Amino acid sequence: MPFQLITLENYQENVTCPHCQHAVIDWNEEQYIQPCEHTLFIAMDLGFEYIADEFESTMQRSVDEIHAHDDQGLNIYSELTHSEYPNYLIYKASLGIEGYFRYIGFTQ
Integer Rg of the chain from CA:
13
92 vs 5: CA distance, rounded Å:
7
What is the nearest approach in angstroms of Zn ion to the Cβ of residue 22?
Answer: 5
| Segment interacting with Zn ion, rule: CB under 5 A, options 15-23, 56-64, 78-86, 92-100 | 15-23
53 vs 107: CA distance, rounded Å:
13
Range 18-77, binding Zn ion (CB under 5 A): 19-20, 22, 36, 38
Contact call for residue 89 and Zn ion (CB under 5 A) = no
51 vs 60: CA distance, rounded Å:
14
Q: Which residue is nearest to Zn ion (CB)?
A: 17
Q: Which residues bind Zn ion (CB under 5 A)?
A: 17, 19-20, 22, 36, 38
